[in-house]
């Protein structure tokens, strides 16, 4: 039988994760805050996008907007799920049984789609916009720019969902920003660096089978991402929405900005234990929970590098495409960006409304 004894428990610098904050909205029911945050994220992006349509007098109907968002959400979920199962899953279970990728049950219980990759979702959504614009014969650069100014604010809710789940926390820290997450891995106090940080933070040391362990404070990297990849990036893009030098500029700015912020914040996150660093140009013996060497790169950083590169290349291409001049407010004389079928539907709706009013 394991013996468990707490030697000290007073905390000075670190903050404990709120004990009242649970993943389930209602205990016992399979309804989680994380899923609700996705709804908030989509709703926020939709509202911000619709605001841009109105302030620019952009020729897009509510039906067209709803259809486009439906495509975007569908492709986002598909891309996020496929990337997560193929890139971050090391057991190869999804390669052997690919039908489980979108199967929301495990051992007879509803678990939802656990595991979503942001990078996969971003490129899935991008593909949806490209395909929708091609099918409907509308300008991809225009609708893409408005998406770029809408998504980051919604993304903030996703990272708040990760925080509520007490997952994707960062590396160990002795700074006042540290938070002790309940599910974080207990570290052996015999390690010199563990003992040093435990002493600095007055962390609680627990005896398990005669061995001293401690749960050290971690960087709340979910909140860092919510702030910089969400609010700050949105504010930056929102500032340029009426100042963009050419169509498609905000798309490139989004991929470049998100990739940069996420790349830096990855240094505060601990890479997945079963994956570690994808690239290590300088080998190190330091544990991943303690330090992230500057020349060691996680999976997220590798994907962010490609996002940054894509953003730079797209800005170069978009600045040289024909009809690149940005239009901030559309007038009735402007050529419509919606196809004739959608325009006809809108006219019919207005006719029916006038008949009812008469």
pTM of the complete model: 0.83
Number of Cβ within 10 Å of residue 131's Cβ equals 13
Half-sphere exposure of 87 (CA within 13 A, CB side): 19
The dihedral through the CA atoms of 232, 234, 162, 274 has a sign that is: negative
Answer yes or no: is 101 within a domain.
Answer: yes
Answer yes or no: is 202 within a domain.
Answer: no
Provide the token pair at 127.
Answer: 């593909």
Residue 27 per-residue DSSP state: T
Question: Is residue 269 within 8 Å of 298, Cβ to Cβ?
Answer: yes
pLDDT of residue 336: 52
pLDDT of residue 278: 85
Answer yes or no: is 108 within a domain.
Answer: yes
pLDDT of residue 277: 86
Query: In Å, how far are 3, 33, 204 from 232, measured between CA atoms?
Result: 48, 23, 35
Domain total of the chain = 1
Provide the token pair at 324.
Answer: 């690149």
Answer yes or no: is 177 within a domain.
Answer: no
Identify each DSSP E strand in 158-302 by its residue range.
179-180, 187-188, 205-208, 211-214, 279-280, 296-297
Answer yes or no: is 2 within a domain.
Answer: no
Answer yes or no: is 156 within a domain.
Answer: yes
Domain range enclosing 293: 32-171+219-357
If DSSP codes are grouped into helix, strand and coil, which group holds residue 59?
A: coil
Sheet harboring 187-188: ordered strands across? 4-8, 205-208, 211-214, 187-188
pLDDT of residue 258: 96
**Local confidence pLDDT in tens for the 358 residues of the chain:** 444 444 444 445 568 888 888 878 777 766 778 788 888 999 999 999 999 999 999 988 888 899 999 999 999 888 888 888 887 776 777 676 676 666 666 666 655 566 778 888 888 999 999 999 999 888 899 999 999 999 999 889 989 988 998 888 999 998 888 999 988 888 998 898 999 898 888 888 888 878 889 999 999 999 999 999 999 999 999 999 999 999 999 999 999 999 999 999 999 998 877 788 888 888 878 888 888 889 999 999 999 999 999 999 999 999 999 989 998 888 876 655 555 555 566 667 667 766 665 5
Answer yes or no: is 27 within a domain.
Answer: no
Answer yes or no: is 23 within a domain.
Answer: no
pLDDT of residue 204: 82
Rounded to a whole number of angstroms, the distance between the first and last alpha carbons of the chain is 83
CA distance 249 to 241: 9
CA distance 276 to 270: 8
């Amino acid at each position: 039988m394991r013996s468990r004894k707490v030697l000290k428990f007073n905390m000075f610098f670190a903050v404990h994760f709120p004990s009242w904050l649970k993943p389930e909205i209602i205990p016992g029911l399979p309804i989680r805050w994380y899923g609700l945050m996705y709804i908030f994220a989509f709703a926020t992006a939709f509202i911000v996008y619709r605001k841009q349509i109105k302030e620019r007098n952009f020729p897009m109907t509510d039906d067209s907007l709803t259809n486009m968002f439906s495509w975007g959400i569908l492709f986002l979920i598909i891309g996020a799920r496929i990337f997560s199962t193929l890139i971050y899953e090391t057991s190869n279970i999804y390669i052997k049984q690919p039908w489980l990728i979108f199967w929301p049950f495990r051992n007879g219980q509803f678990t939802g789609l656990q595991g979503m990759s942001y990078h996969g979702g971003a490129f899935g959504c991008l593909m949806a916009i490209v395909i929708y614009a091609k099918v409907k014969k509308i300008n991809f650069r225009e609708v893409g720019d408005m998406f770029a100014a809408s998504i980051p604010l919604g993304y903030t809710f996703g990272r708040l969902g990760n925080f509520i789940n007490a997952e994707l926390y960062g590396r160990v820290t002795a700074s006042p920003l540290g938070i002790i997450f309940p599910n974080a891995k207990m570290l052996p106090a015999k390690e010199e660096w563990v003992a040093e940080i435990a002493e600095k933070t007055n962390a609680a040391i627990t005896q398990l089978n005669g061995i001293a362990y401690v749960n050290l404070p971690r960087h709340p990297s979910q909140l860092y991402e919510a702030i910089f990849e969400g609010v700050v990036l949105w504010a930056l893009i929102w500032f340029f929405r009426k100042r963009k030098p050419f169509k498609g500029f905000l798309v490139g700015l989004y991929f470049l900005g998100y990739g940069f912020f996420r790349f830096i914040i990855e240094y505060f996150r601990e890479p997945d234990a079963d994956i570690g660093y994808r690239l290590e140009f300088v080998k190190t013996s330091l544990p991943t929970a303690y330090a992230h060497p500057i020349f060691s790169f996680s999976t997220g950083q590798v994907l962010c590098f490609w996002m940054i590169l894509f953003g730079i290349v797209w800005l170069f291409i978009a600045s040289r495409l024909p009809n690149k001049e940005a239009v901030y407010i559309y007038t009735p004389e402007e050529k419509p960006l919606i196809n004739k079928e959608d325009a006809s539907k809108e006219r019919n709706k207005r006719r029916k409304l006038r008949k009812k009013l008469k």
